[in-house]
Structure 1
Amino acid sequence: MIVKIAVLSGKGGTGKTTVSTNLAAAMGIAYVDFDVEEPNGHIFLKPRNLEETDVNIMTPVIDHEKCTLCNICVETCQFNALANTGKKILVFEDLCHGCGACSLACPEEAISEYPRKIGVLYEGTYDESGFYSGKMALNEPMAGPIITEIKRRIPKGTDHIVDCSPGTSCNVVKGVDGADYAIMVTEPSVFGLHDLKLAVELVEEMTIPMGIVINRSNEYDHLIEDYARESNLRILGKIPFSKQAARIYSEGRLLSEDPQIAGIFDSIKATVLEEVSHAVSHS
């Protein structure tokens, strides 16, 4: 059974990467960081033998001597990356998705393309498992092409945990797509519950089974537990709100290095594998 588990949250800062890295290490499977705007899984897993590869998208260049200002390229572009000023065609590189439609549509063959760097991806190992990550270049607005490229680098048949982007954007959809199971990480607060509901709604729309991990567990856990009961969602485990956990985290170490917290992740691992097995057998 090949396993793909997506870990997500309705917002940043809830402990998504904490759960992703510790659970990947506990399960001994590959870790994939799709949070390419601010990846930090490497801080905790300490990957080795990292190979760095540029991620480029093909971006149009207008030959103004050949261009007749027919406007076909502008009308073809679905992303408003081209504009006709009446004197020349302008290219807004930040809006370009690299689809190549404009160059194909140009009747004068006045559009060529060049590879524009939008980020990098990293491949390596931690322990005996794979590590895959990426990072957007500064001022780049689109994470999608980098996430797509990371996906292509994961060997077929590799069990892995995906550390999704925060929130419920298109980038999160890319990360969750194809998952056997989703882990929703939340914190016991009114704001945490609000964002959890958004993430649950997204995953429900994608018809992917899911469960909840409560991070920074405290006396307000009932907020999440009541919602989970009403929504028929399983609480997979709770990570304590403790000074020891905060200290380990701040030192860039896995929480599972603490024997007591390691037991919590072993329990979460067993519950998740049970849920995944049930989900796959009924898919």
Structure 2
Amino acid sequence: MIISVASGKGGTGKTTVATNLAVSVSGKVRLLDCDVEEPNAHLFLNPVLEYTRTVTTPVPEIDEEKCSGCGKCAEICQFRAIAVLGKTVLTFEHLCHSCGGCMRVCPENAIRWKERELGTIRKGQRKELEFLDGHLKIGEAMSPPLIRKVRSQADRDGLTIIDAPPGTSCPVITAMKGTDFVLLVTEPTPFGLHDLSLALGAVRILGIPCGLVINRCDMGDEKVKEYAREESLPILMEIPFQRDIAEAYSRGELLVESIPGWKEKFLELYQRIEAIVKRGNFS
């Protein structure tokens, strides 16, 4: 089973939920940190890293001797990654989505691929838990290709937990798409409610069963719970706003290892997710 842990906004406790859930479940478990712009699951898991690999993506390179300046490559590119000015062809690598359309339409076979660095992937181990994360290169705007590389390590033989990026844009969709369940994490504030509604809308467009964790549940108001009831969104766990939890987080410690009783609660959370997935519905 593949579970994606997501949130409409940053700072809700998404990584806290993902890491504690991963450590609580026994057997073959893999955690993929797909929040490649700011991965921090490693701070809580402290894995022993086995390797770091550079990830690249293909981008077009123009052979000026062959190019006739016809402009067909620029016409087909929806992302404006190629511009033709007379017989000069300019490529904007950071806009390229590596679709290959420009190569297909070039009548002179004047376009070839070259590799552009996106970032790195790290793999490690924490006891029985397998760990992977992606680190987007500083200044790089194209995170989905790197997220797909990390996602490619997901395995339905056992449990894979994906720590998705925050928000509802392309990186989040890339991390969530094709998973068996999306666990949404929010907080009971107006901002939390607003972004939860956006995230839930995206998940339901994808047609993936989902549930909710409310972090810092005893602050704010009841509007998140009211919204969950109206939308038939099951609340699977509530985490209170407590000093011992905040202190454990600030030390980079897992709740399930530092505070008694929390491992059982996260195991119960996993069992509830399993039951929803087996039923094949949203409630």
Task: Classify the TM-score, shorter chain.
Answer: over 0.9
Residue in 2 that maps onto 1:11: 9
Shift of 1:186: 0.6
Question: Do residues 218 (structure 1) and 218 (structure 2) align?
Answer: yes
* Over 3 Å off, 4+ runs: none
Structure 2: state its 5+ residue gaps.
none
Shift of 1:229: 1.7
Shift of 1:159: 1.3
CA distance in 2, matches of 1:215, 1:21: 14
Question: Do residues 24 (structure 1) and 27 (structure 2) align?
Answer: no
Letter in 1 for 2:233: L
Secondary structure at the counterpart of residue 42 of structure 1? helix
What is the TM-score of this pair, normalised by structure 1? Answer: 0.92
Shift of 1:265: 4.7
Residue in 2 that maps onto 1:105: 105
CA contact (8 A) 2:20 2:266 kept: no
Shift of 1:156: 5.3
Letter in 2 for 1:106: C
Letter in 2 for 1:17: T
Question: Do residues 51 (structure 1) and 81 (structure 2) align?
Answer: no
CA distance in 1, matches of 2:102, 2:40: 37
Secondary structure at the counterpart of residue 273 of structure 2? helix
Structural mapping, 1:138-157, within 5 Å: 138-155=138-155, 157=157
Letter in 1 for 2:278: V
Structural mapping, 1:101-140, within 5 Å: 101-140=101-140
Deviations 1:180-218 (A, max 9, x none): 221111111111111111111111222222211111122
Structural mapping, 1:115-264, within 5 Å: 115-155=115-155, 157-260=157-260, 263-264=261-262
Shift of 1:166: 0.2
State, as a whole percentage, how many aligned pairs show the same letter.
42
Letter in 2 for 1:174: T
Residue in 1 that maps onto 2:267: 269
Shift of 1:250: 1.6
Shift of 1:105: 2.2
Count of aligned residue pairs for this structure pair: 279
Seen in structure 2, the aligned counterparts of structure 1 residues 136 and 253 have a Cα distance that, compared at 3 Å, is same
Shift of 1:99: 2.2
CA contact (8 A) 2:21 2:270 kept: no
Secondary structure at the counterpart of residue 188 of structure 2? coil
CA contact (8 A) 2:214 2:239 kept: yes
Shift of 1:63: 1.7
Secondary structure at the counterpart of residue 194 of structure 2? helix
Secondary structure at the counterpart of residue 171 of structure 2? helix
Seen in structure 2, the aligned counterparts of structure 1 residues 187 and 282 have a Cα distance that, compared at 3 Å, is closer
CA contact (8 A) 1:35 1:166 kept: yes
Structure 1: state its 5+ residue gaps.
none
Shift of 1:221: 4.9
Seen in structure 2, the aligned counterparts of structure 1 residues 213 and 130 have a Cα distance that, compared at 3 Å, is same
Letter in 2 for 1:13: G
CA contact (8 A) 2:121 2:133 kept: yes
CA contact (8 A) 1:180 1:280 kept: no
Secondary structure at the counterpart of residue 134 of structure 1? strand
Q: Which moved more, 1:6-15 or 1:210-219?
A: 210-219
Letter in 1 for 2:148: T
CA distance in 1, matches of 2:252, 2:95: 36
Letter in 1 for 2:264: D
CA distance in 2, matches of 1:92, 1:152: 27
CA distance in 2, matches of 1:266, 1:226: 27
CA distance in 2, matches of 1:4, 1:153: 11
Residue in 2 that maps onto 1:280: 278
Letter in 2 for 1:228: A
Secondary structure at the counterpart of residue 113 of structure 1? strand
CA distance in 1, matches of 2:12, 2:186: 6
Secondary structure at the counterpart of residue 123 of structure 2? strand
